[in-house]
Amino acid sequence: MPKLKLPVPPMPGRPAPKRPGKTYGPQTPREHGREAGTSAIGWIDERTSLSGGARWMMFRKVPKGTNWFYTLGSATMFAFLAQAVTGVFLAMYYDPSATGAYDSIRNINNEVFLGEFVHGMHKWGSSVMVILVFLHMGRTFFFGAYKYPRELNWVIGVVLLILTMTMSFTGYLLPFDQRSYWATIVGVNINGTGPFVGPYLSDFLRAGPDFGATTLSRFYAIHMMLVPGAIAALMGFHLYLVAKLGTTAPPWLRAKSPEKLREEKVAR
Amino acid sequence: MNKQQKEQYLREYGILKAEGKPFFPYAVAKDSLMAAIVLVVIIVMSIVLGAELGPKADPTTTTYTPRPEWYFFFLFELLRVIKPPELVPLATIGIPTIGMILLFLLPFYDRGPERRPERRPIATLTGIFVVVAMGYLTYLGASAESPTTISIDPPANVVAQGDKAVATFNSGAQVVAQAGCAACHKLGHSGNDGPGPELTDIGRRLPRQAIERTLINPTAPMPSFAQLQQDAPQQFDEMVTFLAELK
Amino acid sequence: MAERKTAKSKYTADRQIPGAFEGETVTRRRFMTGTVHTAGAVATAAIVLPAAGFALGPVFEEKEQPWQPVGKATDFTPDTYLPRTITIEPRIGDVGKSTVFVRRFNPDVDTEPRDQYNEFIAISSACMHLGCPINFVAAAQRFICPCHGGVYDFVGKVAGGPPVRPLDRFYTRVENGTVQIGRRFSVNSELERFSPRDPGEPLDGVGQYMYPSRPSMRKLPGT
C-alpha cells in the first residue's frame, strides 16, 4: 500500500529569482484578488505575528488512533457558540422584568419572524449542550485522560460543568412560566439549606427575602453576562491546555518501543 | 505516578504523537462534521418540538405540580426519596457538594499510571454505577406523579364484571386521589411511600368492612373520613369499593 | 569561618547604600514596592467594594410588610381553611401575590397561647421542604405538597415526608370586623414564633442558630 503523503506545514519559502522574458505579478482579475487577500493577511500578520500561533494550533500533531469520541469536546464548544448566538438574538426582544417577561417571550413565539425557531434552538441547544458536556466528561473519565499531565484541565472542566449547570438553572427562570417560577423558588431554597451562609445566599440571589422586582433581572444578568463570560474565558484556557499538552491517545494504544522502530528503519 | 512513570508516559506519548496526523485538516474535518451534526440536531429539535411556553407564572396557585427540566430530574428524585427531615440538607446541599468535590479532586486521588478502563476496575465500575444510578433516578423522577392523581389499572376481576364496574372503580380512584390518600400511601406506581402503609393490595389484606371502619375511625396520624361519609355518602362508598377491589 | 554572616543593620546608612540618609530604615526599592502594592490594592478595592455593596445591598435592607385586609371576620370558621390572596411584593403585579389559608382560632386543636395576633390563623402556602405550593385538601384535613411528598396536619405540623418544620404563618388582627394579615413568621415544632426563615431550614434544636434570621425580614418585636 502506498504511503499517503501528509501535507507539510507551509513555511515561508524564498521566491525564485526573476528571469528575463517572463512577466511577474498578478495578471488576471482572479490572481489580483488572491494577491489582495494574501497581502491583507500579510499586513495583519506583520503587525500581530498571529500566524505563528495559528500554525502552532492547527498544525500540531494529533496522536494516532484518535476517534470520534475525541470530537465531543469541540462539539460542546460549538453548542456553546450556538447558544451564545441565539441568546444574543433572543435578548433583542426579551424584557427582563417580572411584569413583561412572559409577554415578551409570547411575542417572540407568536409575532417575531422565526421567533419560535430561534427560541427553540436556544431551549433545545441547552439540552444538547448538557448532554455533550456529560458525554465529554464520561469519555475523559473512562479513558483516564484526566491523569498526568492533564490534571489541571480536568479541574477546569469540572468548573465548566458547574457553570453549564448554572446556565441551565438561571436560564430557565427567564421565560417566566409556571415551571420557571417554581423551579427557581425550589432552586433558591436549595441554596438556603446550606448552614450559616445559606439564608444570606438566597437573599442575595433573590435580591430580598421574597421573590421581588429585581429577582428576574438578577438572574438575567447572571445568565447572559457573568456566567457566559466566565465560560468563554475558561473554555479558552481549556483549549490552550489541550493544544499545549496534546490530545490523549486512546488508552489501549501502546507505542512501539524505540528498538522496534529502529529495526523497521534498518529493514527498510 | 512517580517520576519514572511520568517520564515513561511522556516518552510513549511523544512517540504516539509523532506517528499521528496533523490537527488540520484531519481532526478539524471530524470536528466540523460533528459540529454540523450538533447544529442539525438542534435545528430539527427546534422545528419538531418547538418552544412551548407553559401558563404564566402564578405564585398563588394551589393546583400546579412543579417539575424541573429533565436534566435536573435526578436531583428532584433525590429530594423525593430522602424522607427524614434531618437528612434534607444532605439531599439538597450535602450529596451534590460531596459529588462535586470528589469530581474536582479526581486526578489527585486517582494517581495510578494505568489508563485502560478494563485495568482500572474500581474507577470504571464506579463510573458505570454513577451513570446507571443517575439514569435510574432520572427515570423515577420523570415518572413521578402529583399526589392528587392516581393511575392504576382496574384488576382483571373488575374488568370481567363489565363497563359499569370499571367506571365505579375509576371514579373511586378519583375520589381517593382527590382526598389526598396518595400523599401518605403508595398505590401501585402512584403515591408516596409512607408514612402510611402501602395500599396496592389492601383489598387482599382487609375485608371491605374493615376498610370502612379504618376510614371512619383511623389510628393517628391518619385523618378520619367520617365527615366525607356524612356529606357525600356516594363518594365515600366509591372510595371503599375502590380500596376493597385493590388485590 | 571568618566572614560569618551578621544580622543586617536596619539602617540603610550602615549597609553602605549610596545616598542613604542618617536614620533612614526604608530602602528606595522597598518604598517603591510598597507604594505599587498599596496603589494596586486601593484601585482594586475602589472597584470591588462598591460593586459588592451594590449587589449585596438588598440582603441588609428590611422589607416593608404592611397589614392588608383579607375579608370579614364572619367569613372564617374554626373548622376549615379558606384560601385568600395577599400581596407580598406590590411592584410586580400578579407575580407578587401569594396564597394564605385562613381560619378562626380553634381551642380544640390549637395548643399555642392565645394573643392579639392569633384570633385567626393564617397559614402560608409555601411548603417548608423547598417552597412548592401546597394545597389544603378538605376531605383529608391535610395540607399536601405536590413536589417531594410533604404532608401537614390541620394545624400545619408535619405529618409526613421531608419538610423540616411546620408551615409558616402570618400575624393576623381584626380591625372594624375585617381580618388583616401582617408579616410572616416561622414556627418550630412547638409552634413557637421565630423570625421568618426560608423553607428547608429547621428551627428545632440547633436549627435556629444554624439558619440565623436575616436582617431583611423580622417577626414583630416582642411576640
A65 pLDDT higher than 90: no
Write out the DSSP string of C56-82.
Answer: HHHHHSPPP---EEEEEGGG--SSS-E
Closest chain C residue by Cα to residue A217: C55
Q: Mutation test of the interface with chain A: which of C95, C98, C195, choosing the one with the most A Cβ atoms within 10 A?
A: C95
Q: Which has the higher per-residue pLDDT, A8 or A170?
A: A170
Q: How many beta-carbon contacts under 8 Å exist across A and B?
A: 230
Average pLDDT over all residues of chain A: 89
Distance in angstroms (rounded) separating the CA atoms of residues A178 and C95: 10
Whether A217 maps to a domain, the answer reads: yes
Does the beta carbon of B83 lie under 8 angstroms from any beta carbon of chain C?
yes
Q: What percent of chain B has pLDDT over 70?
A: 100
Closest chain A residue by Cα to residue C53: A204
Does the beta carbon of B76 lie under 8 angstroms from any beta carbon of chain C?
yes
Q: Which residues does residue A230 pair with via DSSP β-bridges, in sequence order?
A: none
A255 pLDDT higher than 80: no
Q: What is the pLDDT of residue C3?
A: 58
Average the pLDDT over B100-124 and give the result.
93
Does the beta-carbon distance from A138 to B127 stay under 8 Å? yes
How far CA A67 is from CA of A78, A221, B14, B34, in Å, comes to: 18, 39, 18, 12
Q: What is the pLDDT of residue A10?
A: 61
Q: What is the pLDDT of residue B202?
A: 87
Q: What is the pLDDT of residue A171?
A: 92
Total domain count for chain A?
1
pLDDT tens-place string over residues B88-105: 999 999 999 999 999 999
B16 burial class (0-12, 13-18, 19+ CB within 10 angstroms)? buried
A93 burial class (0-12, 13-18, 19+ CB within 10 angstroms)? middle
A6 pLDDT higher than 70: no
pLDDT tens-place string over residues A93-148: 999 999 999 999 999 999 999 999 999 999 999 999 999 999 999 999 999 999 99
Cell reading at B153: 389499572
Does the beta-carbon distance from C214 to A199 stay under 8 Å? yes
Residues (pLDDT < 70) of chain C are: 1-7
How far CA B93 is from CA of A113, A200, B101, C69, C198, in Å, comes to: 43, 15, 12, 38, 15
Closest chain C residue by Cα to residue A216: C92
Q: What is the ipTM of this complex?
A: 0.88
Distance in angstroms (rounded) separating the CA atoms of residues A89 and A76: 20
Whether A129 maps to a domain, the answer reads: yes
Average the pLDDT over A220-228 and give the result.
95
Lowest mean pLDDT among B29-43, B71-85, B152-166, C193-207: B152-166
Q: What is the pLDDT of residue A193?
A: 92
Does the beta-carbon distance from B66 to A247 stay under 8 Å? no
* Least CB–CB distance from C132: residue in A182, A204, A214: A182
Per-window interface: C 23-62 vs A, CB < 8 A: 55-56, 58-59, 61
Chains in contact with A, where contact requires at least 3 CB pairs less than 8 Å apart: B, C
A8 pLDDT higher than 50: yes
Does the beta-carbon distance from A144 to B50 stay under 8 Å? no
pTM assigned to the model: 0.89
Whether A87 maps to a domain, the answer reads: yes
Contacts of B64 in chain A (CB under 8 A): 178, 182
Identify the band that residue A240 occupies on the pLDDT scale cut at 50, 70 and 90: very high
CA angle C67, C73, C77 (to 5 degrees): 120
CATH of B66-144, one of 1.10.1380.10, 1.10.1330.10, 2.40.50.180, 1.10.287.980: 1.10.287.980
Q: What is the pLDDT of residue A267?
A: 55
Q: What is the pLDDT of residue C1?
A: 46
B148 pLDDT higher than 50: yes
Query: Looking at CA atoms only, how far is residue C109 from chain A in angstroms?
Result: 30
Cell reading at B103: 469530581
Lowest mean pLDDT among A3-7, A187-191, C62-66: A3-7
Q: Are A72 and A135 in contact (CB under 8 A)?
A: yes
Q: Which domain holds residue A197?
A: 69-245
Contacts of B98 in chain A (CB under 8 A): none
Q: Mutation test of the interface with chain B: which of C148, C164, C204, choosing the one with the most B Cβ atoms within 10 A?
A: C148
Distance in angstroms (rounded) separating the CA atoms of residues B100 and A70: 24
Does the beta-carbon distance from B39 to A254 stay under 8 Å? no
Average the pLDDT over B149-159 and give the result.
83
Q: What is the pLDDT of residue A14?
A: 66
pLDDT tens-place string over residues B46-89: 999 999 899 999 999 988 999 998 889 999 999 988 889 889 99
Identify the band that residue A265 occupies on the pLDDT scale cut at 50, 70 and 90: low
Which of these, A129, A125, A122, lies nearest to A92 by C-alpha position? A122
Q: Mutation test of the interface with chain B: which of A81, A139, A141, A201, choosing the one with the most B Cβ atoms within 10 A?
A: A141
Q: What percent of chain A has pLDDT over 90?
A: 71
pLDDT tens-place string over residues B179-212: 888 888 888 888 888 788 888 888 888 888 888 8
How remote is the C-alpha of B154 from its chain's centroid? 24
* Least CB–CB distance from A183: residue in B37, B46, B66: B66
Query: Looking at CA atoms only, how far is residue B151 from chain A in angstroms?
Result: 23
Q: Mutation test of the interface with chain B: which of C80, C102, C151, choosing the one with the most B Cβ atoms within 10 A?
A: C151
Q: What is the pLDDT of residue A120?
A: 96
Whether A77 maps to a domain, the answer reads: yes
Contacts of A237 (CB under 8 A, 6+ apart): A156
Whether A18 maps to a domain, the answer reads: no
* Least CB–CB distance from A78: residue in B20, B23, B35: B35
Cell reading at A120: 427553540
Q: What is the pLDDT of residue A258?
A: 60
Q: What is the pLDDT of residue B158?
A: 83
Sequence spans of domains, chain B: 1-51, 66-144, 156-244
Contacts of A98 in chain C (CB under 8 A): 92-93, 95-96
Cell reading at B75: 436531583
Distance in angstroms (rounded) separating the CA atoms of residues C137 and B29: 61
Return the CATH number of the domain spanning residue range B156-244.
1.10.760.10
Q: Are B145 and B190 in contact (CB under 8 A)?
A: yes
CATH number at residue A189: 1.20.810.10
